[in-house]
Amino acid sequence: MKKRIMALFLALTMIATATGCGRGYKIGDNGEVYNDYITVKKWKGLEVEKVEPIAVTDEDVQGAIDSDIQTLTSYEEVKDRGAKNGDQVTVDYAGRLDGVAFEGGTGSDTFILGEVKPGKPLEDFQKGIVGHKADETFEVPMTFPEDYAAEEMAGKAVVFTMTLKKVVEVKVPELTDETAKKLNPKAKNVEDYKKLVKADLEKSNQEVAEDQMRSSLFGLLSAQWDVKEYPKEDLKEHKKEAKEYYEQEYQGYLSYVASMSGTSVEEVESTYGMTVDEFVSSMYGTTIEEMAKMQHALQMSMDLIAKVEKIKVKQKDIDAFLEKQAKLAGYDLEEYKEKLEEESDDEDELKEMIRKATFQEMILDFLWDNCKIVEPKKTETQTQTGTETGTESEKESSETATE
């Protein structure tokens, strides 16, 4: 499996397929369900602490509008005039300090002229380009700021020899009623469009808050189970799957560190010198074996819940799950299926992974539909602060009354 779209299913399906151990189940006097291996005391009415969605600000709305407008922005290369702020320019440059090239001073860059912010060329560097035409070569003297990040260059006067390779006029449309209708066919005018943008952002923030609450459900469920025994062969399979998953995650971590530091994966691995087990311990504070046991217990508890609640995976459920995942990944359904097939080495394995992921999503949906949303519990610090505040208020009221 390649770790791209398939990473989703690797994460979702670390829970091995049920083998039928403890196939039957019994209901206890207190409503708990159990078999020879595990007891699940409660699965309905799990108390999930409420997560408030982040409020949408005017800046958020404007940022979304600016992003939308980019879809209507046009780019036209120009050669008959000098570059001006707002143009997109591509420039080759070579810097010299006292006539000698310095480290990091030679390269090529493409940016919007006049945009001075972190990650963009310095203001004096950009000012020297204004007015020059494409294919011109010229010199730009400048002095690095005293607080420049590269301390060895801070405050130094240098000269850049530049060749302006390309000037592109960026035509950003104004936000008019007509533009608003193009950006969102449901909008009648600019104000209507802004309301729709804000509503979309609020919906998105609400979904994020809901996802955070949903993500706590399996953790809450884990407090409700009591494992009597782990079927040996099943646990062995879980350990194998967990080992394979975390090996891939570790390699992904090494690749990320290597790309950020500009070194090779081998060099990073040599520097860190960690085994996969040590990686899991440092990242999650536990062991692969404990993770496997947790996943196995989750599988057994989900199997019991599914039997009691008569939850079965049907083709329509698989289709709905794939459609949802396709939308999240930004594909249409057929394109998404093709991507999955391209990244899979085994058709039967892919089908089983999708079925397992669908099953887990259905159990999560059931827990969510039957949970209770409660107000977050106050921490000890919050409680103490509230008590102290109340005491101070009462004291002040008493003193005021006395006066």
CATH number of the domain bearing residue 117: 3.10.50.40
Q: Is 66 part of any domain?
A: no
Residue 395 has pLDDT above 80, yes or no: no
Do 148 and 253 lie in one domain? The reply is no
* The two three-digit tokens of residue 77, written as one number: 């290369």
Nearest CA to 93 among 141, 131, 144? Answer: 141
Do 129 and 28 lie in one domain? The reply is no
Residue 267's Cβ-count burial label (10 Å; 0-12, 13-18, 19+) is: middle
Q: Confidence band (pLDDT; 50, 70, 90) for 301?
A: very high
pLDDT at 386: 55
Nearest CA to 288 among 296, 277, 279? Answer: 277
Give pLDDT tens digits for 216-230. 999 999 999 999 999
Name the E strands within 153-260.
157-171, 225-227
Do 243 and 309 lie in one domain? The reply is yes
Q: Is 40 part of any domain?
A: yes
> From residue 290, how far is each of 243, 286, 303, 357 by CA, in Å?
11, 7, 20, 22
Across the range 19-25, mean pLDDT stands at 60
Q: Is 16 part of any domain?
A: yes
Do 104 and 27 lie in one domain? The reply is no
CA 99 – CA 103 distance, rounded (Å): 13
pLDDT at 258: 85
3-state DSSP call for residue 99? Answer: coil
* The two three-digit tokens of residue 70, written as one number: 């980019």
Packing angle between helix 58-69 and helix 190-214, nearest 10 degrees?
A: 110
Nearest CA to 298 among 76, 65, 37? Answer: 37
CA 45 – CA 213 distance, rounded (Å): 14
Q: Confidence band (pLDDT; 50, 70, 90) for 384?
A: low
Do 32 and 124 lie in one domain? The reply is no
Do 365 and 245 lie in one domain? The reply is yes
Contact by Cβ (8 Å): 194, 61: yes
Across the range 151-167, mean pLDDT stands at 96
Q: Is 194 part of any domain?
A: no
Do 79 and 38 lie in one domain? The reply is no
Do 228 and 362 lie in one domain? The reply is yes
Q: Confidence band (pLDDT; 50, 70, 90) for 23?
A: low
The DSSP 8-state label assigned to residue 161 in this structure reads E
User: For 68-82, 123-137, 259-273, which range has the lowest pLDDT when averaged over its residues?
Assistant: 259-273
Do 150 and 276 lie in one domain? The reply is no
CA 314 – CA 254 distance, rounded (Å): 39
Residue 194, amino acid = K
Q: Confidence band (pLDDT; 50, 70, 90) for 19?
A: very low
3-state DSSP call for residue 77? Answer: strand
- Number of domains the chain is built from: 2
Do 32 and 83 lie in one domain? The reply is no
Contact by Cβ (8 Å): 14, 23: no
Do 241 and 365 lie in one domain? The reply is yes
Q: Is 361 part of any domain?
A: yes
pTM over cut 0.75: no
Residue 400 has pLDDT above 70, yes or no: no
pLDDT at 385: 54
Give pLDDT tens digits for 55-72. 999 999 999 999 999 999
Q: Is 64 part of any domain?
A: no
Residue 403 has pLDDT above 80, yes or no: no
Q: Is 133 part of any domain?
A: yes
CA 294 – CA 317 distance, rounded (Å): 26
* The two three-digit tokens of residue 366, written as one number: 């059931």
Beta-bridge partner residues of 367: none
Do 133 and 230 lie in one domain? The reply is no
- When computed from its CA atoms, the radius of gyration of the chain, rounded to whole angstroms, is 30
User: In this structure, what are the phi and psi dihedrals at residue 266, rounded to the nearest 5 degrees?
Assistant: -60, -40
pLDDT at 3: 39
Question: For residue 388, how far is the Cα from the chain centroid?
Answer: 39
Domain residues for the domain of 39 are 6-46+224-369
pLDDT at 16: 46
Beta-bridge partner residues of 106: 94
Give pLDDT tens digits for 70-106. 999 999 999 999 999 999 999 999 999 999 999 989 9
Give pLDDT tens digits for 330-368. 899 999 999 888 888 888 889 998 999 999 999 999 999
Mean of the per-residue pLDDT values of the chain: 88
Q: Is 266 part of any domain?
A: yes
> Of 127, 152, 171, which residue sits at a domain end?
171
Beta-bridge partner residues of 141: 159
Q: In residues, how long is the chain?
A: 403
Angle of CA points 234, 238, 239, to nearest 5° = 120
pLDDT at 264: 85
